[in-house]
Amino acid sequence: MRTPILWLMLLTLFLCGCASTARNRPQNVTIDEAVEQLKAGRKTRINSERGKVEGKFIERDGQALQIQTKAGTVSIAMTTIRSIDVRRTSAGQGAKVGAAAFGVIGILGGFVLDGLAKSLDESDDPEGCTPCIFVGAMAGAASGGLLGGAIGAANAKWYRIYP
């Protein structure tokens, strides 16, 4: 019975490591593919031959992008664009890492409760509290996912989508 639980712990640790090293890296995309990723209202920073423009993306108008800045609407020709950054949170990433880390803590807490239940049982065939391990893992993953997601949501960063 212990072997599957140990494999579950190792898998959780592995996923925690994978989730924490995965990052949004710039890909080799064309300007058209990058503009397709933009949604109306998304905070956008564009570095063009005219300089940097930061504001909310409105729409693509032919071969130009419309950006709403504090000073008004700016039209930027796509041929002059050097880079495009978007502002995103890390809520999903934080939820994954938090769920994996707290899931492992929950599994360990379940093992402690299982051992405690077995040590307090005075019968000849103590069964302990094997479901405590599963419940600990689920409770830890859920609470860690919520906490990690909340921390990630508060952490907004600029991500390069072009080039």
pLDDT digits (tens, 9 = 90+) for 55-80: 998 888 888 888 898 988 888 888 88
Average pLDDT, the chain: 80
pLDDT at 22 over 50: no
pLDDT at 19 over 70: no
pLDDT digits (tens, 9 = 90+) for 138-159: 999 999 999 999 999 998 888 8
Of 18-22, 79-83, 103-107, the poorest mean pLDDT is in 18-22
pLDDT at 15 over 80: no
Please tell me the pTM assigned to this model. Answer: 0.58
What pLDDT was estimated at residue 97? 92
Give the chain as a 3 state SS string: CHHHHHHHHHHHHHHHHHHHHCCCCCCCCCHHHHHHHCCCCCEEEEEECCEEEEEEEEEEECCEEEEEECCEEEEEEHHHEEEEEEEEECHHHHHHHHHHHHHHHHHHHHHHHHHHHHHHCCCCCCCCCHHHHHHHHHHHHHHHHHHHHHHHHCCEEEEEEEC
What pLDDT was estimated at residue 99? 93
| Integer Cα distance of 97 and 9 in angstroms | 14
CB 140 within 8 A of CB 105: yes
Please give the distance of CA 95 from its chain centroid, rounded to a whole number: 6
Q: How many residues does the chain have?
A: 163
Token couple for 72: 């008004």
Closest CA to 68 of 42, 102, 30, 47: 42
